[in-house]
Structure 1
Amino acid sequence: MKKVMLMAVAILFSAAAVFAAHSNNPVSDTTKTKKVKPVTKVQYTCTMHPDVISNKPGKCPKCGMTLVKKVDAKKKPAEKRKM
């Protein structure tokens, strides 16, 4: 009876060892991934015609002024007040 128990325990340990050896495959861990900043597209607009928007610099088709980079309201630098 002791031999049968010992054999059963030995089989269980060897099966556990085989299973543990096969489970060492690298699994992608989402906590280790690098955070990538979202790509922001640069847009150009006319200062006199804000409805004119372009993906590249150039001239306004309405008035011919040079297009400037469009700045989001959130990213605008705070204006300095004169006192």
Structure 2
Amino acid sequence: MKKVMLMAVAILFSAVTVFATNTTNTVSDTTKTKKVKPAKVQYTCTMHPEVLSDKPGKCPKCGMTLVKKEPAKKKTEPMKMKM
């Protein structure tokens, strides 16, 4: 009787191990398929933010050097607690 129980536990442990190793591989495969597009760099005048250019240069309105425009940061909303 002890041998039968020992064999049953060994088979159950083996089955759990096989299923556990197969599920972790599918998660890592889905993360590799995401592609990130590089952000488009734009240049702007500090005095005239409406002036935009794809390359560095001078502002056509005032002649100041154009600076790299930083991407707009997403505003985070405060967390709402449910009661």
TM-score by length of 1: 0.48
- TM-score, L = length of structure 2: 0.48
- Give the number of the structure whose residues are more often helix, by fraction: 2
Q: Which has the larger radius of gyration?
A: 1
